[in-house]
Structure 1
């Protein structure tokens, strides 16, 4: 985050101001208070570079000493404004509807009120002096924090974990402290850094107007007020404190901007190479579009929802990734596409796309060679923009096409996915299309480039059976025509068996079996067999209860060293709890991770 000159300048200025605040009073404090009747109201000289005041005190020393008081007052004002604003802005997310609307209205009114007038009014009510100025600037800062907090908290308040806490009767105060504020803390802290610069400038302005620090105390604003009457005769007496205020304000704002930009970059997943679980990850598969070895995704606290996943996809091949909810399928796809949310860390022994390391691909290269199709097409399309414009944006940004060329290609791609009247559909907003049409538009968006890999994350779950079959047929057509590989993620093993060439079964973040789709009924792992058995067909005896898998899948933090499926497995032995079975060959293009299957095959 400190790679730009502006960021470095901001960090240097802030560091200099902090050092000055620490060493200023001990070193120059005596000179700042020394009264010299023979040097009253002097201009710049060798003895007094910034001149003297009406008592003969050295103004340079006073500027250097005033740094501590100025920064402390700014910090106090910023903390007061941040505390009041955060509490006020977070209240609507936990209050009932009527009080929440009242608080929201109050925030809107405060934001619309000029900040300087609010600061002056508060300072006059609280009384002239440093305390009134600090309260006034804090009151002026609070509405901005309240609006930011309100916006951030609204996005968190609708989360499922907040709704669950409400249903469980968790007190509103506890919901606010444990569920809302911790999830919006980072942008608020960054805003506080920038607010320090604003508070410093605001307090200097209040003191300059005579509403802030009063004699005998002094800050930079007070020194500027005292020297302003002489600015036309000896301008250095006013320019000294003015320069200090400007440098400090610029420093805090530059630092806050650098921190905000750095946070935006770190919100992307951190990817690093890790030691593979196997002794040797092996040579890259020749000609593979996707080649992943020992992929892991880790979150703070040692939670690892994806553990050593290895898979590949050849040109024109559709690989199905199947498993229960929470098995790590979608997170695996997100890790491949670089979409793991912060603070997740992606590790791998090898991650190659079309023969190149993903870490070496630019955003533009990754965006044109990888396409993502998500479960909810409405969430993938901007409801405020027309469909054609969103598709055209891909060609403009990634391929440098003109607007006319991009729009023509968008219409062509919409027709390519069998949308009727593609030109007309391109001029519509997403809400004007049906669910199946929106999903086709999302697929068309992926085809705006030349994707070598298409990741389809449960793209048919929200669609009815008829439309689902059309989308599956479309994916097969796209694969055969373009030669791209498809990683198809689903919890529906019947759909996977129908569409895919090869199936990878995941459980608790690990691959437990990999086999050709046409041999899915020959699955060897007990989990694979249980998934198949739980799928009813026309021959299922309706007089019997539906087959199900007893128990539940362990949470990522609960996975031990043994086989994660052992507590639910009817074939489990002591060996299953003692160690995790490796993924070993079990026939042509068939691998399985199960001690019981391995022992049976060996015998």
Structure 2
């Protein structure tokens, strides 16, 4: 049943002794808040001047106040006002905190930083000082106290929301929505807020207990509820004056505040412990690849990116650079990347982690983080300049003509929305289809990516799909339009070998049938060599070799390319010899050495390599950036670990 796991996690809080007790207490208090004023208001108002400040008795269990009114009845009746004021203050805190927490995602970078700085300053102040400050500003009375406590609690909720929102917006399904051209506000409402609602409600429950205590404190200080109205704090204030005559006048309302506050806090914490997002791990398995049919129309030697105007060029990139702020200035993580992808062509990008593969793809798809700076001599997709100002037309083009398949299928979809609805959103947003037509298109695309029973699956949530089915559904989202380019970033990561083959076969079939260009990013040179027409080898943020995929295994000319190929075991690998390794560590983007970045790890490096960076030069065999391109490397240089390299 849909939603059952979530309900079960909530109900599991009631299976613990603490959860049961606190839940019963909280329910009892809420019931009293409703029925107590109806049943006992008259008894609470009854004045008996002959029985002033009387001690506990059978008639008055906790004695009477300075007008002879029953303390227990007044405490019970005060439950409603105390709970109403506490919940009102909590609601203000949550609403204001929610607005402030999401503001940095809706506003520009400068305004967002200003809001964040304001939240940080407000959080640094003790909540009690803020409450007293706002109480003075808004004036004495219940209304002023509600505003004071609500605004004093808002910064902590804002910090919580800001942290949770930042975690959600970094996930792939939000990036996919951006690629589809969905606006910031819609992303916030449809994708972000549903995923932070659960922890926000839990924390609001805990916060209600704190608001109750804070409100009782203000009323006790004379800044909250004023006579003749009374809440628990006001009763406590009145009871303290007669503490030595009748201690019950102060103890009973004080006990009500204590028990109710603890019940809210502990019940919220019980739910918080029970509610969690389950994680699923999939063991990594060796990769098996079946080569799809290759496109021969566009194969051939790789050269410089076309200067422009070629009809079959889908993506044209020239001197692409991506930089992020660093402690000592901008850090360039992508440095002068140049390549082109033609219609129906499959281009693979390989390299170690941190080589700039994924950031190159994100820059092309306009998904680089706001802090990142993207520059290029040319960055064109289907002839459109991606370096110009963002427009609705360009977002529509990216959303329909470029498909992005992310690395982790679990984060590719919004876990709170059904699969069909997420796919249908693309057609509703870009194709102008109504809800029924868009859902029919989504079901059709799920069937196109070979998901069985697509109508039933379209009504399911992402957690009900296996890893391979989620990845296929993500590809289905990409082909909701008519893509000219599919960018697949490690699409087979953490999938078993059978599912890997199915995903790769699916991408190959889509490419073959619709003449779609493919950019495949992977650590696995075997996958890229079998699937792609051309291979770009990246190291330290730049392309060090561009060669035909058929030459990757045997004719790579850059030492790094040869090392990547040699590091993949094969059936011919000698079992009694050390495995080939690449010595040392990848270059830190913030500290790229002069000369060739690979020189410190290269067995062929000379002094020239350490002082002069080789250009990416092209000939009939491709492009390579190396002063010793094609020179042979002894097998022993690839099969032993060098310990002298830092």
User: Normalising by structure 1, what TM-score?
Assistant: 0.58
Give unpaired runs (5+ residues) of structure 2: 1-114, 171-222, 224-302, 633-646
Match of 1:293 among 302, 318, 327: 318
Sort the Cα spacing of 1:308 and 1:81 in 2 relative to 1 into closer, same or farther, 3 A: closer
Structure 2 match to 1:144: 154
Displacement after TM superposition at 1:88 (Å): 7.6
Sort the Cα spacing of 1:530 and 1:88 in 2 relative to 1 into closer, same or farther, 3 A: farther
Displacement after TM superposition at 1:322 (Å): 0.4
What does residue range 357-368 of structure 1 map to in structure 2 within 5 Å? 357-359=385-387, 362-368=394-400
Displacement after TM superposition at 1:141 (Å): 3.1
Structure 2 match to 1:336: 364
Structure 2 match to 1:442: 474
Sort the Cα spacing of 1:330 and 1:471 in 2 relative to 1 into closer, same or farther, 3 A: same
Alignment deviations for residues 59-86 of structure 1 (CA, whole Å, 9 cap, x no partner): xxxxxxxxxxxxxxxxxxx999956742
- RMSD across aligned positions (CA): 3.4
* Counterparts of 1:497 and 1:279, CA distance in 2: 21
Structure 1 counterpart SS, 2:629? helix
* Counterparts of 2:560 and 2:423, CA distance in 1: 41
CA contact (8 A) 1:320 1:503 kept: yes
CA contact (8 A) 2:556 2:630 kept: no
CA contact (8 A) 2:305 2:316 kept: no
Displacement after TM superposition at 1:362 (Å): 1.7
Structure 1 match to 2:441: 409
* Counterparts of 1:284 and 1:567, CA distance in 2: 41
Displacement after TM superposition at 1:288 (Å): 0.8
Displacement after TM superposition at 1:358 (Å): 2.2
Give unpaired runs (5+ residues) of structure 1: 1-77, 90-106, 128-132, 161-210, 212-277
The answer to whether structure 1 residue 572 and structure 2 residue 597 are counterparts is no
Structure 1 match to 2:39: none
CA contact (8 A) 1:285 1:291 kept: no
Displacement after TM superposition at 1:363 (Å): 0.9
Structure 2 match to 1:317: 345
Alignment deviations for residues 163-184 of structure 1 (CA, whole Å, 9 cap, x no partner): xxxxxxxxxxxxxxxxxxxxxx
The answer to whether structure 1 residue 474 and structure 2 residue 506 are counterparts is yes
What does residue range 73-472 of structure 1 map to in structure 2 within 5 Å? 82=119, 85-87=122-124, 119-120=134-135, 141-153=151-163, 282-300=307-325, 301-359=329-387, 362-472=394-504
Structure 1 counterpart SS, 2:313? coil
- Higher relative contact order, chain-length normalized (CA < 8 Å, sep 6+): 2
What does residue range 541-552 of structure 1 map to in structure 2 within 5 Å? 541-552=574-585
* Counterparts of 1:463 and 1:475, CA distance in 2: 15
Displacement after TM superposition at 1:484 (Å): 1.2
Alignment deviations for residues 399-423 of structure 1 (CA, whole Å, 9 cap, x no partner): 1111111111111100001111111
CA contact (8 A) 1:316 1:486 kept: yes
* Counterparts of 1:279 and 1:312, CA distance in 2: 8
Match of 1:533 among 558, 566, 569: 566
Structure 2 counterpart SS, 1:532? helix
CA contact (8 A) 1:323 1:490 kept: yes
The answer to whether structure 1 residue 510 and structure 2 residue 542 are counterparts is yes
Worse-matched range after superposition: 148-157 or 441-450: 148-157
Structure 2 counterpart SS, 1:289? strand
Structure 2 match to 1:54: none
CA contact (8 A) 1:294 1:348 kept: yes
* Counterparts of 1:423 and 1:159, CA distance in 2: 29
User: Normalising by structure 2, what TM-score?
Assistant: 0.54
